[in-house]
Structures are given as structure tokens and as C-alpha cells.
Amino acid sequence: MNAPLSPPLAMLMELTHRCPLKCPYCSNPLALERARDELDTATWKRVITEAAGIGILQAHFSGGEPMVRSDLPELVRHARAEGLYTNLITSAVLLNPARMAELAEAGLDHVQISFQGADAAVADHVAGFRDAHEKKLAAAQLVRDAGLALTLNAVVHRQNLHQLSAMIDLAVDAGAQRIEVAHVQYYGWALKNRAALIPTRAQLDEATRIVTAARANLAGTLTIDYVVPDYYAARPKACMGGWARQFFNITPSGKMLPCHAAETLPGLVFERVTERSVGEIWAHSSAFEKYRGTGWMAPPCQGCARAEIDWGGCRCQALALTGDAGATDPACGLSPDHAMMAALAIAESGAAVDDFAYRMIS
Amino acid sequence: MSLTAASVPRLARHVRFRFDAARNCHVLLAPERVIMPDAIAVAVLECCDGVVNVAEIADRLATRYEAPRDAVLADCLEMLNDLADKSMIAS
Ligand code: SF4
Ligand code: SF4
């Protein structure tokens, strides 16, 4: 049975895949899109208007690094005029006082700055960019001075988890309202670098303990959102709140996707916002309909009491680990592949191979 | 620190409250969060102007809905404290 189609909550715009950083866990696809293929300003504005028209409430400006686009303030202004809550997801190394003022004036609501560690030694190594950490600290101050809401994104993995407490302290010192402590999700570049990033079970338990304690200590000061890694989970996440139910993603060249990793799935055709409206793609595109609802499910998901809670987990993870995008996410204990996934996490995290490949345009 | 009858509530700076035509309801928008407040919460939020205190909001709503004032005050405080815990209401 498929639930009736309700309006999506949010759209994530990958304005560009260009980025000065080279994070080895980047969720962008291995085949990065090029600058010459990016949508122009007028098309992005039309996309924003169409998306607002079908009911999205939040517009996330992301990338790559969205600040490499000089039309970012214009797009933010347009989204605000359409009534949307505007969120900038940035590495912040390109933020300076002039650009901050421009964005604030355009009506930006919220800035999310990623941190790769708690000090320059770890953070700059992970980002593959000199002085990145110092630039981010300065940028956080600019956001705060401009009076905008600030979230720190702490993407954690085996090579920076020992700094988790310090990263939470850093968020408090930076005046952030919120920190998102997110264990790496293994798609895109992160999947390629999984063996160098995946934490051990003991590291994960320690991280969970730190977050639980900090939540109690910092209630009312700092909101801590925590995303645990699927590899040690008993039940999967409701990936994207269910395929094509709440969110969609637009790539730099205008392909509309149910999630940022969806292009890894074979046999799906992703339509472009240059050829069809956002509303038509949302409602009718075969790629969106393919795994929407519960009708596509096979056992053990089919008929499971949690089918409309986690929607069978992540299609991209099912594909990456089982070879079948329509299988139950192996993060689920009911999946026949669950033991294989757990064994893989233990083997790779224990091998202590720390070399990774930096993200780059080939 | 929770709100009392004397607190003057207002929306936190990073929160927006508006009517959404697509869903035909009011929405509270915050980073990564969307809340759809019920009709009573909407009535309270519409009074949160950073000027009047919770006691005055309760007076106003008790009159408007012809409801017992103490019960209205208790409901207002509960709802506002819940949003304050989520950092959506400041005072
Ligand atoms: S994860 Fe790192 S490399 Fe990827 S877009 Fe963000 S800052 Fe750039
Ligand atoms: S079997 Fe499928 S629906 Fe049931 S809990 Fe596992 S992933 Fe979720």
C-alpha cells in the first residue's frame, strides 16, 4: 500500500561540486560534476519558485562549496521572498565580513559550518587544506556577529573521534545553538575510504557516552543532534524519511534525485529540472516512484510492523552491500546480510589502515 | 530555566512562524526542524510579540475562548516551555 503523496519538506541544492576542501568522507559522487555544466542563476530561481509551489518549507544551499557561486546571495534572497527557511551548508573557508554582510542582508536564516576536528593538526589533515580550521573559527564568529543561527557539523570517524569532547566544547565557545555530531555515512567518497574512517565498536560506544553526558550538561545551551553509524546498528535509519517522501536533491547540472547518493542505483533515470518541472518530477518521475511507500518491498520488510517507520532503510546502502537496491538495508538485524555488514565493520576498523584518498575532480 | 507567568516570550531569533498554504496550517521553522503547532498553540504563538507576558496572553485567550483562566495559563506555560526546551522560544 502506498500512502498518499504529501508535500515535500525540504530541497537540498547542490549549487556546485567545486570545493576548496578535499574531505575523504564527502558524500558527493565520485564522478563530480563540472563548473561548465552548472545551472545558471535564472534556472535556480525558477527551481526555487517551483519547489516552494509544491510546498517545501526549507531550502538548503549546499555543494560542494556553495560559496564559490557568486550568485548565492541572490538565490538566498529569492528563496526568502518565496517564504522559505534558508540554510547555508558550508565549509566556511570562503566566508569573509563582506560576504557575510551580503548573505545576512539577503535574509539568510541559518549557517551550518563543518568542522573536521577540534584543532588545526587533525582538521587540516582531514580537510586536505591548510589553515582551514583557523578560517572556520573566524567564520563562526562572523556568523554569530551577524546574529544568524549557527550549527556546527562535526563529521566524526576513526581519525578524529578522540577529539569529540573538544569539538563539543568548541561549539559552545563558538556560540553555536546546535551541533550535529554525525558519524560518517558510507556513500560517495566515504564508501571508497571506509576502511580508513570506520570507527571501532569501542570508539562508537565512547562517542555515544560523551554525547549522552554532554546533552545532560548542556541542556538549554547547546542542542546536540547525533547520527550513529549504520554499521553497528540493530535497525536502519529512515533514510531521507523514506524514499521520495519528504526531501529531494538537485545536482549542480539540474538532475533531481530522491537522495544525494541515488545516482549509484542502476537502472534509474533521473530527470532534469531543465526538462520538466520540479512538481512533475516529484509526483511522476519513475525514479521517485520506484521505492516510494512500501509497495516495492520484499520480505522481511514486506509486512513488517516497522515498514512505515524506517521504510526499509537506505536503498543505496542496500545496493552497496548486497548488490540489490531493493533488498532490506543490511543495517537491519532482520536482513540476511546483517552479519556480513557487522563483520565488515569489525574487520575494517580493526585493520588500522589510515590512508585515504582525498576527494578531487578527476 | 523555565518560563513563568511573568516571562515575556518571543520567538527565538532563528525561528520563523508562518502560515503554509500547501498544508493549510501554520508552521514553525527552525534549523532542520519543522513543527506544525495545533490551533491552541497557534493562538498562543500569535500573541508572542516580545511585549506581553504569559499572564496577559492567558487573560487574552481566556476571554477570547471563554475558558477558565487558570487552566489556560497552565496550558500556555506547558506549551511554551516545551518550545523553550527545543530552543524555539526565548524570554
Ligand atoms: S564534505 Fe568537504 S570536500 Fe565535500 S563538499 Fe563538504 S567541505 Fe567540500
Ligand atoms: S525488516 Fe525492513 S521494515 Fe522491518 S525493521 Fe528491518 S528494514 Fe525496517
Give the distance between the most distant pair of CA atoms in chain A: 56
Whether B51 and chain A come into contact, CB under 8 Å, resolves to no
What ipTM, to 2 d.p.? 0.86
CA distance A183 to A158: 9
A99 ligand 2 Cβ < 6 A: no
| φ/ψ (deg, to 5) at A155 | -85, 115
Whether B85 and chain A come into contact, CB under 8 Å, resolves to yes
Q: Is the dihedral of CA A321, A253, A149, A95 positive or negative?
A: positive
Residue A221: partners with Cβ closer than 8 Å, 6 or more residues away: A172
**What is the whole-number distance in angstroms between the Cα of residue A328 and the centre of ligand 2?**
7
Compute how many other C-beta atoms are within 10 angstroms of the C-beta atom of residue B39: 8
Chain B residues whose beta carbon lies within 8 Å of the beta carbon of residue A110: 14, 31
Burial of A343 (0-12, 13-18, 19+ CB in 10 A): exposed
All three cell numbers of B37, joined, read 503547532
Q: Between chains, do A225 and B32 touch, taking CB under 8 Å as contact?
A: yes
Helix (H, G, I), strand (E, B) or coil at B27: strand
Nearest ligand, CA A129: 1
Contact A278, A50 (CB under 8 A): yes
User: Ligand 1, closest atom to CA A63?
Assistant: 5
Burial of A354 (0-12, 13-18, 19+ CB in 10 A): exposed
Encode chain A (362 residues) as per-residue pLDDT tens digits: 445 688 999 999 999 998 887 877 787 877 888 889 999 999 999 999 999 999 999 999 998 899 999 999 999 999 999 999 999 999 988 999 999 999 999 999 999 999 888 888 777 777 777 888 888 899 999 999 999 999 999 988 888 888 899 999 999 999 998 999 988 887 777 777 787 788 888 888 899 999 999 999 998 788 899 888 777 788 888 888 899 999 999 999 999 999 888 888 888 999 999 999 999 999 999 999 999 999 999 999 999 999 999 999 999 889 888 989 999 999 899 999 898 888 878 777 777 767 767 777 65
Between chain A and chain B, how many beta carbons pairs sit less than 8 Å apart?
A: 48
Q: What is the pLDDT of residue A3?
A: 54
The angle formed by the CA atoms of residues A260, A223 and A194, to the nearest 5 degrees, is: 40
Give the distance between the most distant pair of CA atoms in chain B: 37
All three cell numbers of A1, joined, read 500500500
User: Ligand 1, closest atom to CA A62?
Assistant: 5
Identity of residue A125: H
Chain B residues whose beta carbon lies within 8 Å of the beta carbon of residue A225: 32
Indicate if the pLDDT at residue B79 is higher than 50: yes
Q: Between chains, do B31 and A148 touch, taking CB under 8 Å as contact?
A: no
Indicate if the pLDDT at residue B52 is higher than 50: yes
Q: A23 labelled as ligand-binding? A: yes
**Substitution target from B20, B28, B29 for chain A, most A beta carbons within 10 A:** B29
**What is the whole-number distance in angstroms between the Cα of residue A256 and the centre of ligand 2?**
27
Helix (H, G, I), strand (E, B) or coil at B90: strand
Residue A201: partners with Cβ closer than 8 Å, 6 or more residues away: A232, A345, A346, A349
The string of DSSP codes covering A160-227 is: TGGGHHHHHHHHHHTT-SEEEEEEPP-SHHHHHTHHHHPPPHHHHHHHHHHHHHHHHHTTTT-EEEEE
Nearest-neighbour CA in chain A from B59: distance (Å): 28
Residue A118: partners with Cβ closer than 8 Å, 6 or more residues away: A160, A163, A166, A167, A169, A170
**Smallest Cα–Cα separation from A145: which of A172, A175, A115?**
A175
**What is the whole-number distance in angstroms between the Cα of residue A305 and the centre of ligand 2?**
8
Mean pLDDT, residues B58-80 taken together: 93
Nearest ligand, CA A127: 1
CA nearest B32 in A: which residue? A58
Nearest-neighbour CA in chain A from B80: distance (Å): 14
Q: What is the pLDDT of residue B90?
A: 87
Q: What is the pLDDT of residue A279?
A: 96
Q: Between chains, do B14 and A223 touch, taking CB under 8 Å as contact?
A: no
Q: Between chains, do B34 and A109 touch, taking CB under 8 Å as contact?
A: no
Mean pLDDT of chain B, nearest integer: 91
Compute how many other C-beta atoms are within 10 angstroms of the C-beta atom of residue A206: 16
Compute how many other C-beta atoms are within 10 angstroms of the C-beta atom of residue A71: 14
Q: At what angle do helices B54-65 and B69-85 cross, to 10 degrees?
A: 130
Contact A312, A301 (CB under 8 A): yes
Q: What is the pLDDT of residue A1?
A: 42
Residue A11: partners with Cβ closer than 8 Å, 6 or more residues away: A47, A48, A51, A56, A58, A59, A60, A247, A248, A249, A250, A278
Q: Between chains, do A110 and B18 touch, taking CB under 8 Å as contact?
A: no
Indicate if the pLDDT at residue B26 is higher than 90: yes
Question: Which residue, judged by its Cα, is nearest atom 6 of ligand 2?
Answer: A332
**Smallest Cα–Cα separation from A60: which of A114, A109, A116, A27?**
A109
Residue A239: partners with Cβ closer than 8 Å, 6 or more residues away: A259, A311, A313, A314, A315, A316, A317, A329
* B 15-34: CB under 8 A from A: 16, 18, 20, 22-23, 27, 29-32, 34
Q: Which pTM value belongs to this model? A: 0.90
User: For a pLDDT cut of 70, what percent of chain B falls above it?
Assistant: 99
Residue B14: which of A55, A83, A177 has the nearest Cβ? A177
Choose the residue to mutate in A22, A32, A65 for probing ligand 1, maximizing ligand atoms within 8 Å of C-beta: A65
All three cell numbers of A266, joined, read 542502476
CA distance A209 to A248: 33
Helix (H, G, I), strand (E, B) or coil at A268: coil
